[in-house]
Amino acid sequence: MKAYTKETQAMVTPKGAIELLKEGNLRFQKKMKSDRDLLEQVADTKSGQFPFATILSCIDSRVSSELIFDQGIGDIFSARVAGNFVNEDILGSMEFACKLAGTKLVLVLGHTACGAVKGACDDAKLGNLTALISKIKPAVKAVVEPEDTSLRTSKNIDFVNEVAVKNVHMTIDNIRKESEVLRDMEDNGEILIVGGMYDISNGKVTFF
């Protein structure tokens, strides 16, 4: 399986990029990964890269975008930070990926049982992690149920997962609000900005 070229990247539409990721995740679930020579793809991409998608995901060791979407060298840009939120640096990286490098899709990917989300639910304090978790707390507040504070902790996995979903939606809102470049590209039909959740129990990605 060859790496993407400028010509093959140009043929991918934003909706087509979503389908490519869905197909890759299905192969991952069915243990039918594509036959690709990664070292050959290293050689293919030595003079340039033409990924079709940009994925923002958590640093969680179980959520490698290249693996769960069955992608190879040069196929996707992968940005990772605990809790999959955006800041100026990540937005700048996304703008480079889309505007300058030609990707057709921005996917914000949360996952079930997210440790960063659990920390936000519990108001955890630990060095620089305290500031990181503060970026996720708005999603905790935005999930109104349950009202019982004893159920709004990391011990309630349903609540944790609801917050993780809300965090994805709020991250997408922040991308559109804080990046004029990406917002204009989406308005012009050049890219799509979408969300999804990865289930750590079965390997399935559900797109919103």
Strands 205-207 and 192-198: antiparallel
| All residues at 6 or more sequence positions from 121 whose CB lies less than 8 Å from its CB, including other chains | 140, 152, 153, 154, 159, 160, 163
d(CA 115, CA 121): 10
Q: What are phi and psi of 106, to 5 degrees?
A: -115, 120
Rg from Cα positions in the chain:
17
Total residues found in the chain within this entry: 208
Q: CB count, 10 Å around CB of 10?
A: 13
* Domain limits, the chain: 6-114+164-207
Q: Is 169 annotated as a binding residue?
A: no
- Residue whose token pair is 């709020």: 170
Give the E-state strand segments of the chain in sequence order: 53-57, 76-80, 105-111, 192-198, 205-207
| All residues at 6 or more sequence positions from 97 whose CB lies less than 8 Å from its CB, including other chains | 51, 54, 77, 103, 106
Q: Is 199 annotated as a binding residue?
A: no
- pLDDT at residue 155, as a whole number: 97
- pLDDT at residue 205, as a whole number: 98
- pLDDT at residue 64, as a whole number: 97
Q: What is the pLDDT of residues 152-179, one digit of tens each?
A: 999 999 999 999 999 999 999 999 999 9
d(CA 205, CA 25): 7
Q: Is 60 annotated as a binding residue?
A: yes
Q: What is the pLDDT along the chain (208 residues), one digit of tens a residue?
A: 889 999 999 999 999 999 999 999 999 999 999 999 999 999 999 999 999 999 999 999 999 999 999 999 999 999 999 999 999 999 999 999 999 999 999 999 999 999 999 999 999 999 999 999 999 999 999 999 999 999 999 999 999 999 999 999 999 999 999 999 999 999 999 999 999 999 999 999 999 9
Strands 105-111 and 192-198: parallel
Superfamily of domain 6-114+164-207: Carbonic anhydrase (3.40.1050.10)
- pLDDT at residue 1, as a whole number: 81
- pLDDT at residue 2, as a whole number: 87
Amino acid letter, 1: M
Token representation of residue 112: 């079930």
Q: Which residues, listed in sequence order, are joined to residue 135 by a DSSP beta bridge?
A: none
User: Alpha helix locations (H) across 71-128?
Assistant: 88-95, 115-121
Q: Is 98 annotated as a binding residue?
A: no
- pLDDT at residue 74, as a whole number: 95
- pLDDT at residue 49, as a whole number: 96
d(CA 8, CA 63): 27
d(CA 119, CA 153): 9
